[in-house]
Amino acid sequence: MVVRKMKLIVCVAVTAAFAGVVAENVQLYSVTHRAAPEGFPGAVLVTADADGVPHFDCVGEAAPGRRMEPDTVFWMASNTKGVLAALVLNLVSEGKLSLDDPVEKYFSSWKKFPVKTRPTLRMLLCHTSGLDVFPKKAIARPGMEALAEHVHVEPLKFEPDTKYLYSNWDIDVAAAIVEKVTGRPFDVEMAERIFKPLGMTDSTFIPNASQNARRAAFYKLSDKKPPMPTKIVRNKLAPPYMEVGVHPEAGGGLLSTPRDMIKFFQMIARGGLAPDGRRLISAPLMEKWTAKQTPKCVKVSYSFGMKVDGKGSLSHGGAGGTWAEANVKTRKARLYMVNVQGSSKVAKSFRDDWMKKTALSVKKSK
């Protein structure tokens, strides 16, 4: 049946029902489709309780002639950092890693750095290790280990744990440590330890044909011209990581859907639990994750791969405009899924209005 009304709310049962075969896990969600304001291409806005039915407000177009859907594939950009942090915390929960492990434990060449404080896994996740945003020079070969060793070509910029410098490179070295401990590529571990238990079947670093066909176009926004499809350019990253979807990159290379990402943030809102009750992240680590982990000398309230507000929220944004938040106190989550470059008054007004209406933070008692 073809739905023709843009604002019709549809309740869907997600099953694998075919020829009498029914999936074990059935999840309900609701979807609304509506037109985007003039001058704004479109977005998917998602709200959900920790254990509740997500609502997908699909606004406008994912690409010319193709509307936004819960399974539209977006470049998650720096929202990837929080997912990598969850992978690290999962391994810490199992005793396979320690946040205070020095990087030189896994890459002995880091012992050569003439610094008083030795860089640790915790510092990598909090962007206080001293690494730059990303190498300025081309990487010798793809892979997280190559990025971990490249630091000797472009060394640390400051004494570790004295400053904050937002860095993809930090997260990539953390991913390299994951690979050392597990003996497998970080994206394989992420798929097994995070995506699989959460049912995130459309999350990947290298999209297949089906996922590519559902990708959201990347639009350039301005107040002077209509939104125009454009190519993603990761101008702060050195080759071979300039292009998305070719080589896995832990600091910002994930592609995913609203339907998948809300599952991840619901897991955070549940306090680290998968839908089946399995604990992916220990309770003590969840408590640390929602607290400021940057040192007192750093004003930025940042924790492991995500920002914190001191009121129970973990949040992060990405270069393409995606933004997500979960609150462990209110047990709610929300996503703003869009892939755009630049800005416009229309886009800002649309986002600001949604942010205000869906705020998750705990209200102060009178």
Strand partners, 205: none
Rounded CA gap, 188 and 184, in Å? 7
Q: What is the pLDDT along the chain (366 residues), one digit of tens a residue?
A: 333 334 344 444 333 222 222 233 445 789 999 999 999 999 999 999 999 999 999 999 999 999 999 999 999 999 999 999 999 999 999 999 999 999 999 999 899 889 999 999 999 999 999 999 999 999 989 999 999 999 989 989 999 999 999 999 999 999 999 999 999 999 999 999 999 999 999 999 999 999 999 999 999 999 989 999 898 878 789 999 999 999 999 999 999 999 999 999 999 999 999 999 999 999 999 999 999 999 999 999 999 999 999 999 999 999 999 999 999 999 999 999 999 998 899 999 999 999 999 999 766 544
Rounded to whole angstroms, the Cα distance separating 94 from 92 reads: 5
Task: Please tell me what DSSP assigns to residue 7.
Answer: T
- 284: exposed, middle or buried (Cβ count in 10 Å: 0-12, 13-18, 19+): exposed
Q: How far is CA 362 from the centre of its chain?
A: 23
Closest CA to 108 of 139, 152, 141: 152
Distance CA 175, CA 154 (A): 19
What's the pTM? 0.91
Give the pair of three-digit tokens for residue 302: 């940042």
Residues ≥6 apart with Cβ < 8 Å to 205: 187, 245, 247, 248, 249, 253, 254, 255
Q: Which residue has the tokens 């705020």?
A: 359
Of the candidates 243, 250, 223, 210, the residue with the CA atom closest to the CA atom of residue 69:
210
Q: Can you count the helices (H) and strands (E) in the chain?
A: 10, 14
